[in-house]
Amino acid sequence: MMNGKQTLFLDQYGGRYWAKSTKELKEQLSGSVSKMYVDKIAGEHAGKTVHCGYIVGDNWLTAYRPVEVVE
């Protein structure tokens, strides 16, 4: 998911974490790491399950990648 690119993760409490790898993410939080998935109900991937972030310990982290748009 991250492929060495800086990714923003937001947890269920609004906490923000930046990481380039799951190793970096795990260093910021304690606990084991597992992938988090969501079922899409609309859009291009409707009816499919997609990887949307990670669960680290008690934190559910949704991934967001910054996007740059050239105008």
| Annotated domain spans of the chain | 7-64
Cα separation, 71 vs 62, whole angstroms:
28
The pTM is what?
0.83
Cα separation, 50 vs 36, whole angstroms:
9
Q: Please give the single-letter amino acid code of residue 22.
A: T
pLDDT tens-digit series, residues 20-64: 999 999 999 999 999 999 999 998 889 999 999 999 999 999 999
Q: Are 12 and 59 in contact (CB under 8 A)?
A: yes
